[in-house]
Chain A
Amino acid sequence: MNQTLKHLLIVFGVLGVMMSIAAGLIWVERRLLGFWQDRYGPNRVGPMGVLQPLADVIKILAKEDWVPPFADKPVFILAPAIIVITVLLSFAVVPFTPGIAIANLNIGVLYFLAMSSLGVYSVALAGWSSGNKYSLIGALRASAQMISYEVFMGLSLMGVVMLAGSFNLHEIVEAQRGLWFIVPQFLGFVVFLIAGVAETHRLPFDLPEAESELVAGFHSEYSGMKFGLFFVGEYLGITLISALITTFFFGGWLGPLLPPVVWFFIKTFLFVGFFILLRAALPRPRYDQLIRIGWKLMLPLALLNIVVTGGIILAAR
């Protein structure tokens, strides 16, 4: 009984923390972008503007929940839910501390890759069901981008898996007690970071959205809380990728003095900040450039990483 209660507590705790982080990130992102553009960003609602997400949520809930008459209604309503559900499901395998993790899956890495692949359905279905050519172009781009970046996202993690000798995220973190995998797996880290940015379709790889070309891409026709769900999904995605970078390459909860969960969140938020810095600094590549980088540069790099890591492990044996 006590055990069940503890599990439930962890599940709802993680859910609550993640949802509040997703909301809080809206404020963090706007503040940081402001600072990097020599502005202040939202600083009026509450102390330093921290209540801005609350005001945004109230506004977005009060908006008309409109479904365009030419849209495919059931799919249109389902699409925003998919992205939030898949990202939240991925959090099930993230080990926050040795004690706090929803599921200690022995195929955690594969589970995460599967869930992030499912996320593409959200974008593709949203664009398809909108019945709008810009949305469709955005959705097609999203599908192509996510499929090509999925390939080496998985491959870039294989080096980590080889070094740790496990697909279990817990054991991957434990294997980094001596040395964080960022050092032996630097190439894998770079490839995973770029794939992660593309996976969450954040700038500079936000071609599915591409405000300057496609209105708003796959969510052009969305408004109200359905639009809000896409945003929640995006911010959850950033948090997830940052948490996983921390887990795979930066030793997860490991660190001196401070409690493990604090270390985990410090590392995660450094990467969240880096994601926002990418958005502030870099322009969007062209579509063909994006695909070319993926297949001609990143995929060979990931394969090279596997071959070299595998060779070194075999030689050391």
Chain B
Amino acid sequence: MISILKALWTVFMHLFRRKVTVLYPEERPHIPPRWRGRIILSRDPDGGERCVACYLCAAACPVDCISLQAAEDEYGRRYPEFFRINFSRCIFCGYCEEACPTYAIQLTTDFEMSEYNRQNLVYEKEDLLISGTGKCPGYNFYKVAGLSIKGKRKGEGENELPPVDVKGLMP
């Protein structure tokens, strides 16, 4: 009996406690920088697309929400002809970011992606590409990859030596 009255009193006094609710649109919660939100495609410091259309993200994706088609430009650089992420399927696990060898695909802190039309959740390449380098400033895959493309032969990249002449006699 006493415990019931005590319970009533305790609950009543909660009227004057501070509320734990975060009134979201007016009051923003803290989003940690490593938050896994909306996926973007980043660019080189030079402004070229980082994505080399290796399909590793699509292969890593557990829900198969990424689809793309590889192509090669006149410089010998691979790029995706189209790159499509279906965000109505995406579970924001971040496996695509882990799989990406060129830091092209990245997850951001943006989570406000509501749409009235489900079809609008399918993002095309132009929706995904951003103009900056994202989380990895200064990284340029083709400068360090040792691949030969037009305008840069093997051994001309950063921290690269010219390839060894396998037919030479010198050590």
A in complex with B = yes
CB distance B8 to A35 under 8 Å? Answer: no
Contact segment of B18-26, B58-66, B160-168:
B18-26
Other-chain contact of A35, B4, B10, B14 (Cβ < 8 Å): B14
Measured between beta carbons, the chain A residues less than 8 angstroms from B4 are 282
Q: Tell me the bound Cα distance from A40 to B11 in angstroms.
A: 15
Given A35-B14, A35-B15, decide whether A40 and B8 contact each other with a Cβ distance below 8 A: no
Task: Kindly state whether residue B17 has any CB partner on chain A within 8 Å.
Answer: yes
CB distance A277 to B11 under 8 Å? Answer: yes
Q: In the complex, which residue of chain A has the Cβ closest to the Cβ of B15?
A: A35
Where chain A touches its partner, the secondary structure class is helix
CB distance B14 to A37 under 8 Å? Answer: yes
Task: Kindly state whether residue B7 has any CB partner on chain A within 8 Å.
Answer: yes
CB distance A36 to B20 under 8 Å? Answer: no
CB distance B20 to A281 under 8 Å? Answer: no
Task: Kindly state whether residue A288 has any CB partner on chain B within 8 Å.
Answer: no
Q: Tell me the bound Cα distance from A282 to B11 in angstroms.
A: 9
Q: Tell me the bound Cα distance from A281 to B23 in angstroms.
A: 25
Q: Mark A226-268, 1 if CB is under 8 A from B, else 0.
A: 0000000000000000000000000000000000000000000
The interface centre, meaning the residue of A39, A277, A280, A281 with most chain B CB atoms within 10 A of its CB, is A281
Q: Tell me the bound Cα distance from A278 to B17 in angstroms.
A: 19
Among residues 5 to 44 in chain B, which have CB atoms less than 8 Å away from a CB atom of chain A? 7-8, 10-12, 14-15, 17-21, 23
Among residues 275 to 292 in chain A, which have CB atoms less than 8 Å away from a CB atom of chain B? 277-278, 280-282
Q: Tell me the bound Cα distance from A282 to B12 in angstroms.
A: 12
Task: Report the minimal beta-carbon distance from B23 to chain A, rounded to whole angstroms.
Answer: 7
CB distance A281 to B19 under 8 Å? Answer: no
CB distance B19 to A277 under 8 Å? Answer: no
CB distance A281 to B17 under 8 Å? Answer: no
CB distance B12 to A38 under 8 Å? Answer: no
Given A38-B20, A39-B21, A40-B21, decide whether A282 and B14 contact each other with a Cβ distance below 8 A: no
Q: Tell me the bound Cα distance from A280 to B4 in angstroms.
A: 12
CB distance B14 to A277 under 8 Å? Answer: no
User: What number of residue pairs across chains A and B have CB atoms under 8 A from each other?
Assistant: 33
Other-chain contact of A39, B7, B8, B12, B19 (Cβ < 8 Å): B19
Q: Tell me the bound Cα distance from A278 to B8 in angstroms.
A: 7
CB distance B12 to A277 under 8 Å? Answer: yes
CB distance A281 to B10 under 8 Å? Answer: yes
Measured between beta carbons, the chain B residues less than 8 angstroms from A35 are 14-15, 19
Among residues 12 to 44 in chain A, which have CB atoms less than 8 Å away from a CB atom of chain B? 35-40
Measured between beta carbons, the chain B residues less than 8 angstroms from A278 are 8
CB distance B8 to A38 under 8 Å? Answer: no
CB distance A38 to B7 under 8 Å? Answer: no
CB distance A282 to B7 under 8 Å? Answer: yes
Task: Report the minimal beta-carbon distance from A273 to chain B, rounded to whole angstroms.
Answer: 9
Measured between beta carbons, the chain B residues less than 8 angstroms from A282 are 4, 7-8
Measured between beta carbons, the chain B residues less than 8 angstroms from A36 are 11-12, 14-15
CB distance B21 to A281 under 8 Å? Answer: no
The interface centre, meaning the residue of B10, B18, B20, B21 with most chain A CB atoms within 10 A of its CB, is B21
Q: Please list the residues of chain B having a beta carbon within 8 angstroms of any beta carbon in chain A.
A: 4, 7-8, 10-12, 14-15, 17-21, 23
What are 10 A-B residue pairs whose CB atoms fall within 8 Å in the complex? Answer: A36-B11, A36-B12, A38-B14, A38-B17, A38-B19, A39-B20, A277-B12, A278-B8, A281-B8, A281-B12
The 10 closest A-B pairs by CB, nearest first: A281-B11, A281-B7, A281-B8, A36-B14, A38-B20, A40-B21, A280-B11, A39-B21, A36-B11, A35-B15
Q: Using A38-B19, A38-B21 as known contacts, list a sample of 11 further A-B pairs with CB atoms less than 8 Å apart, ordered by residue number in A.
A: A35-B14, A36-B11, A36-B14, A36-B15, A38-B20, A40-B21, A277-B11, A278-B8, A281-B7, A282-B7, A282-B8
